[in-house]
Chain A
Amino acid sequence: MAEEVERKPVLEMVQADGTDGNCVTFVLHDEDHTLGNSLRYMIMKNPEVEFCGYSITHPSESKINFRIQTRGGILAIEPFRRGLTELVDVCQHVLSKFEASVKEYKAQREAEMD
């Protein structure tokens, strides 16, 4: 009995015709506003991006359509990758600052107890 391992798609790219990679709509599965909004924010900071937006196709389906349009002939996948990397950097920065602050608070409370 052959078992078929069905791989659920995680990320798909849908390209509008005739625009050679400048405008791409990504379909991100199992995502919602949590990643959509924060990623859109990071990608909008990039001056090469002309348009960036996301929408939830239907509230019963957990997938988002993420559209990026670039100006200047840059492939749309580039700002997407850069946005993801920058978001990872931001989160790591937040994490390190938060943990430092917690450590400092705990140390301060220890000092007050003595």
Chain B
Amino acid sequence: MAARGGVEEMRNRVILGEFGVRNNFRVDVIHMDENTLEFDMVGIDAAIANAFRRILLAEVPTMAVEKVFVYNNTSIVQDEILAHRLGLIPIRADPRLFEYKNQGDEEGTEIDTLQFQLKIKCSRNPHSARESSDPNELYINHKVYSKHITWVPLGNQADLFPDADLRPVHDDILIAQLRPGQEIDVLMHCVKGIGKDHAKFSPVATASYRLLPDITLLQPIEGEAAETLKKCFSPGVIEIQNIKGKKVARVANARMDTFSREIFRHDDLKNLVRLARVRDHYIFSVESTGVLPPDVLVSEAIKVLIGKCRRFLDELDSNHMD
């Protein structure tokens, strides 16, 4: 009996106020800048919100260095370590303009591969002072940064990307350090991949969501207790108002709370407050690595989920034809 009631409850929770009643669902962008995006999704279920989060982390494709051809590496950094570091550098290239590389293809065509070169040699600075011990003065090119990576166009890529803005997202990523006489000469092939394969392909620094807190005061709280209550929550959550000379506490902005649950350490206050979450209000926070703007990433993630469903629908249809 309990199980049946549970299923009915779940069906009703899921049908009421969902997409059957489309007015309930809304999306509000709270804050957006170049690399971060904070937005609210209200009226959606955890399964779909989580699917978007998982796709943002692991299934939105980007371009990253996959093959490193080492022609000369006399630096202290081993070949494989250098290759690993180069793979993790985010590359500013729109992955939607490229195709996935075919499995057995060794060479790499112009539609699926980007070629980069890193060629740098460290030498002694002839103009340095005699007693100086500062490496910045003594050596030239002793720090290898990502700005030293140059793009080598393949095939007709020079015509496709005339602005030649294909480079790492950040110029100041330190790759290796050299001393005079050491040199690095590598050629890198950059392909399209997804985070599921290797984390270097993940387009987000992180993507997460939390539910909107719901703080209710079960009884009016006044005076000293109101002050203590205010200190138990994050700043800005509880506001003290002066009503007829008495201090009365009021929940001003539950959104800012981080749920430290400090209130439960105070025996006099813990029964007067109810801490809960609003079940269908998700506050998403997406931080991009710079490859694509975060709002584009979210749109791409939703399109990936649509693509997955369509793939199975096509499969169903083609099976039915047979």
Contact = CB atoms under 8 A, between A and B. Distances in A.
A55 interface: no
Interface stretch (B139-147, B167-175, B227-235, B300-308): B300-308
Given A34-B54, A44-B14, A84 B313 contact: yes
A33 B309 contact: no
Nearest to B320: A77
A47 B54 contact: no
Contacts of A39: 309
A112 to B, nearest CB: 13
Nearest to A90: B19
Interface string A17-39: 00000000000100101110111
B51 interface: yes
A81 to B, nearest CB: 6
B interface residue count range (under 10 / 10 to 19 / 20 to 34 / 35 or more): 35 or more
A40 B50 CA distance: 13
A90 to B, nearest CB: 6
Q: Kindly name the residue among A40, A41, A93, A104 whose own CB sees the greatest number of chain B CB atoms within 10 A.
A: A41
B10 A44 contact: yes
B11 A45 contact: yes
A47 B315 contact: no
A95 to B, nearest CB: 5
A93 B295 CA distance: 16
B27 A34 contact: no
Nearest to A28: B312
Contact of B308 (A31, A44, A80): A31
A40 to B, nearest CB: 7
Given A38-B51, A47-B11, A81-B316, 7 more contacts: A35-B305, A41-B48, A44-B10, A45-B18, A98-B27, A102-B295, A104-B29
10 contacts: A10-B315, A38-B47, A38-B48, A40-B47, A44-B10, A44-B14, A94-B44, A94-B48, A94-B302, A98-B295
